[in-house]
A and B are shown apart, each in its own frame.
Chain A
Amino acid sequence: MATAFWSVNVIQHPRCERPSIASRKPSSAFLGSTLKLRFNPPSRSNFGFSETLRKSSPISAISDVFEEKKQKSASSSSSLLITKEEGLEVYEDMVLGRCFEDMCAQMYYRGKMFGFVHLYNGQEAVSTGFIKLLKKEDCVVSTYRDHVHALSKGVPAREVMSELFGKTTGCCRGQGGSMHMFSKEHNVLGGFAFIGEGIPVATGAAFTSKYRKEALNEADCDHVTLAFFGDGTCNNGQFYECLNMAALWKLPIVFVVENNLWAIGMSHLRSTSDPEIWKKGPAFGMPGVHVDGMDVLKVREVAKEAIGRARRGEGPTLVECETYRFRGHSLADPDELRDPTEKAHYAARDPITALKKYMIENNLAKEGEFKAIDKKIDEIVEDSVEFADESPQPSRSQLLENVFADPKGFGIGPDGRYRCEDPKFTEGTAHV
């Protein structure tokens, strides 16, 4: 097929190490993003062999937006990437994520939480960098490592903590658990335990936005969906199916890959034939971007661009964030296979300390303000634990609730009436 050919040159340059962003960084860590934004817009009239000849030079088109910024920042060293208010908001969100997850670990070892708990320590820059740019109506779909995505999107810490404790005041009334955080109000569409499962769901949410705009004629509906998933998921078939359809139908979605290099104990390099995930975007006709996921300001820049693209109706983007989880895969994972030097390397690039350093160096805020935020977050998290502790467990009658949206699905009882009409229905034994 003709379309296959113009991609070939794009991908066939010799396989190199992961693009060494580090070696191309200017002196200040945050100025001037050194990103490669693949802009190969699939203009339909252009498919053909002439494309192959034109594209013989290595493709590393840097988008105009970034060129401008680079020039601007090179000329005046005072243009910073973030204002003080935004910076503190971002800092607070990241600290909330970190503090909450640390508290989860404590609670788990004290037996208040059970089952599978997957913590997000170290990856806060990705969640905060993207989600803080969203509106309330935008959707977020995640995997089982979803506590911080829910928190960033606005679900109260109390509700998330109660859910983890299995109490009835949790965001899913204790029925979902750690891996299944849903919130209709904040448009958090889950929380999926199977990896790869969230991607089609997110694509569907994006489809709904487009449908509302075009079929239901809500012209101002420009809701964007973010799908968060990991490096292991990028080998799953559903990922590719959705990249294809999202690009084909120009859906307002951003695929955010949180590449933390490990899928439980399976290193990304051992399981993937070409480990550079961002390259898979252009193969499907969308831009593929690689960004340093430990640097929240860089992530934010890329997010602005990608979300802006989606909102303007220009279609999907694939963003690969190079990040790292400081803890094991889950709280029961002994984490024996990861090299301590690798862990140390990333621990030194902690996104929270990096942001703090940047803001202090650029005189955006003082140490005292950060301490105040830390204290505030500590109180919020402690309060959420108390709230969760004191909340009641779900009552027995809750077992049969919410199986169906229309409880007539339980059928007709022996007396000829629908079972759900019997007021004592939910109190009966659920055993046959």
Chain B
Amino acid sequence: MFSILKQKVLNGGSPVMILGQTVQRIRPAVDAYRGYSSAAKEMTVREALNSALDEEMSADPKVFIMGEEVGEYQGAYKISKGLLEKYGPERVLDTPITEAGFTGIGVGAAYYGLKPVVEFMTFNFSMQAIDHIINSAAKSNYMSAGRISVPIVFRGPNGAAAGVGAQHSQCYAGWYASCPGLKVLTPYSSEDARGLLKAAIRDPDPVIFLENELLYGESFPVSAEVLDSSFCLPIGKAKIEREGKDVTITAFSKMVGLALKAAEILAKDGISAEIINLRSIRPLDRATINASVRKTNRLVTVEEGFPQHGVGAEICTSVIEESFGYLDAPVERIAGADVPMPYAANLERSAVPQIEDIVRAAKRACYRAVPMAAAS
């Protein structure tokens, strides 16, 4: 198992991308809630998740948190900070290192009426428990013909961090999204994090909540509506982060930030990109994606995980099925490299999509000027 302090205290304002930095500077945990005197308040994703958990736990006594280091250690990434003191050890449970066991216990508790939030230190560790997630949680409502529902949330960081090697860097969006019975959510901003986590906890079905370690420290502006304790985002609805008319770029989680930066660069070249933050991988908001493609006629999908059978593949098929006639160019699919994540910093950088890759793909979709390189 591993550690926490990889927080980067970032500048406020627009989300600053931290990809590409190989030097990790360790700073002490500074959980400053910086309220500016101007209208918009800022909130880090970490605070958003923490406040969402806090509010849901106080609203419904059946909600409890279970996972490694969630209690006394305040959460491996400090997401559950302060919750042990507030709600006590009956509701914030530090578990031994037994993913299969405690996931099963969580599922059983959900069968019998409670609402667990199970934390995986990273989703890589969920592989030790995947039998329970798929077979005990996802399929139960169906197998029992609706008599046993499983209102459980599995949450934790997903995807690549920085320099953590092959066994800690896989993205599980594609795997979980292919299983019927599960809902898979991927927040990007603090607003997404708060709204989607609250929706997930209130949802009567098993939800896989894929966060991202590198986003935890990032700050986003939040409106007063978001801060309200009844704020909730609908599951299955994507958000158009930036309107455009030349090319549609879909992304989720950390890649949304990259896509937004790419959009700025493309704008300088006269290409107006529409960025869709998927928010929900299962159910996928096919309507929004297709409506956007019908407007722009070009599509670039961006994801961090492995390319084969990934999220981009599903989006591409959906668009071909429903909006084939509207496409003016082949769909461009940007994904992580088709290799286990290497450790060396320079190799890791080339194994994960960068802003330049998105820009290049969008230009290819628009002009088809640069032929596709020999790809794997």
Contacts and interface: CB of A to CB of B under 8 A. Distances in A.
Nearest to B99: A236
Contacts of A99: none
Nearest to A163: B343
Contact of B2 (A144, A180, A337, A410): A144
B334 A264 contact: no
Contacts of A114: 22-24, 162-163, 345
Interface string B1-15: 111111000000000
Contact of B76 (A264, A328, A398, A432): A264
Contact of B344 (A144, A174, A334): A174
Given A232-B1, A393-B346, A424-B374, A116 B168 contact: yes
Interface string A331-358: 1111001000000000000000000000
Interface in A151-180: 163, 166-168, 172, 174-180
A430 B3 contact: no
A115 B350 CA distance: 17
A176 B376 contact: no
A334 B5 contact: yes
B63 to A, nearest CB: 22
B97 A233 contact: yes
Interface stretch (B67-75, B176-184, B275-283): B67-75
A337 B84 CA distance: 15
A201 to B, nearest CB: 13
Interface in B316-349: 333-335, 337-340, 342-347
Nearest to B6: A332
* Interface range, B side: 35 or more
Interface stretch (A38-46, A126-134, A191-199, A210-218): A191-199
Contact of B345 (A144, A393, A431): A393
Given A166-B343, A174-B343, A399-B342, A429 B375 contact: yes
A272 B96 contact: yes
B4 A115 contact: no
Contacts of A419: 376
Contacts of A422: 374
B287 interface: no
Nearest to A164: B343
Contact of B98 (A193, A235, A264): A235
21 contacts: A111-B23, A111-B24, A114-B24, A114-B162, A116-B2, A116-B164, A166-B347, A175-B343, A179-B165, A180-B165, A233-B97, A237-B98, A264-B68, A266-B69, A331-B3, A333-B5, A396-B350, A399-B339, A425-B376, A428-B374, A432-B335
Given A111-B25, A264-B1, A264-B76, 16 more contacts: A109-B26, A115-B24, A115-B161, A179-B167, A180-B165, A192-B167, A193-B2, A193-B168, A263-B96, A265-B73, A266-B94, A334-B28, A337-B72, A393-B346, A419-B376, A432-B375
